[in-house]
Structure 1
Amino acid sequence: MYPLYLLLALAIGLVVPLQSAVNNQLKHLIGGSTVLAAFVSFAVGTLALAVVAVFTQQKWSGLGQIGQASWWHLTGGLMGALFVFGTTLLAPRLGVVVMLALIICGQILASLLFDRFGWLGLPVREISTPRLIGAMLVLVGVLLVNFGDRLR
């Protein structure tokens, strides 16, 4: 099962630039509003998840417990909205590769901290030398993507 998870993670990564480009085109179609393009994107995603929930027979009654959630439990949607809005806004301004290099760098740095300290109930994973080297290589990659043309 683990190799399938790896493939799913790769597929998600492959879709992110496509999502940015599609949402950018949607933005132009609906009058240039990044906010409304992100809204439509989330609305379609919400409908898709509802259909999947019905077909996979999810227990909708579990949603009755939502009133017991702390405020921060609900911030994932805000973070997702920031991601969709931000990528729709930034892709045409920075270029997809620069934007995603910076996003990936931020993800790697935050992920190292989440793994190291086990924040929000995640399992603790030590930051090994190979992981640090990998993070440094990502950072070097971000610098090359952003400033490599100036080195010529």
Structure 2
Amino acid sequence: MSLHAAALGAFAFLVGALLSVQAPINAMVGARLGHPLGAATFSFVVGTLFLLAVTLIALRGEVAWGDVWSLPPVLWLGGLLGAVYITAAIVLTPKIGVGALIALTIAGQVVASLLLDHYGLLGLAVREITTGRVMGALLVVAGALMVRFT
């Protein structure tokens, strides 16, 4: 494995760790504000302001903002799905715990990603479901259930 590949893997691992920290922070905001939707809105406003500042400073003129309105409707789902995830995490974290939340969401991602790959959905290259991939997904699901129920 190259140093570059190792660095990318380490970065992905770090991002996963940060998601584990994000869930309880947002849940605490929800408790203080009195509603999960308020916390989700707060989270997105802070994130949007941060991304706007970074984009304006680092990517001056590189983003084709005029093309936003011509994007196909399905591409608008990315933001909507992010809002659903953040809100669900705010609701679920105090009820099932961070470990179970993250494990179960990863299990859901793995199962859904196998289907996306297999059928080449959303313009992805087709990657057949193999016995090894199914077994790997089942191990992730089993691990998630163990985190949640043991």
* TM value normalised by structure 2: 0.88
1:38-117 alignment, distance < 5 Å: 38-59=40-61, 62-117=64-119
Cα drift, residue 61 of structure 1 = 5.7
1:47 partner letter: L
Query: Partners of 2:108 and 2:82 in 1: how far apart?
Result: 15
Pick the aligned partner of 1:16 from 1, 19, 38: 19
Name stretches of at least 5 consecutive residues in structure 2 with no aligned partner: none
Query: Partners of 1:98 and 1:67 in 2: how far apart?
Result: 38
Match of 1:7 in 2: 10
Deviations 1:29-76 (A, max 9, x none): 32x211111101001101111111122224366110122122221111
1:25 pairs with 2:12: no
Query: Partners of 1:110 and 1:91 in 2: how far apart?
Result: 22
CA contact (8 A) 2:96 2:148 kept: no
Query: Partners of 1:8 and 1:61 in 2: how far apart?
Result: 24
* TM value normalised by structure 1: 0.87
What SS does the corresponding residue of 2:64 show, helix, strand or coil?
A: helix
What SS does the corresponding residue of 2:127 show, helix, strand or coil?
A: coil
1:121 pairs with 2:129: no
Cα drift, residue 85 of structure 1 = 0.6
Deviations 1:54-101 (A, max 9, x none): 222243661101221222211111100001111011000111122222
What SS does the corresponding residue of 1:84 show, helix, strand or coil?
A: helix
Match of 2:145 in 1: 143
Query: Partners of 1:125 and 1:44 in 2: how far apart?
Result: 37
Identity of aligned residues (%): 36
1:18 partner letter: V
Cα drift, residue 123 of structure 1 = 2.1
CA contact (8 A) 2:107 2:144 kept: yes
Deviations 1:4-26 (A, max 9, x none): 32122211110112101111111
Name stretches of at least 5 consecutive residues in structure 1 with no aligned partner: none
What SS does the corresponding residue of 1:137 show, helix, strand or coil?
A: helix
